Amino acid sequence: MKITVNDEAIEVDDETTVAALLERFGFGPKGIAVAVDLAVLPRSEWQTTLADGARVEVVTAVQGG
């Protein structure tokens, strides 16, 4: 199925979860926020299976001044 991650269209398996997607892209477990279809998804729901056409945005925290 096709989804969009940070404005990039990709193909994933039908059973792909948010957590699996984050692992695939090499995101660590801390310092990130995830939104699926414009709704922020709490870490407790990262085992949610993505739907065809889902739009996922991953934002990383950046430290600086």
* Domain edges within the chain: 2-60
Is it the case that residue 65 has pLDDT exceeding 90? no
Q: By C-alpha distance, which of 30, 32, 29, 44 is closest to 6?
A: 32
Q: Does domain 2-60 have CATH number 3.10.20.30?
A: yes
pLDDT in tens, 16-44: 999 999 999 998 878 999 999 999 999 99
Q: What is the pLDDT of residue 30?
A: 86
Rounded distance between C-alpha atoms, residue 30 and residue 42, angstroms: 12
Rounded distance between C-alpha atoms, residue 58 and residue 30, angstroms: 12
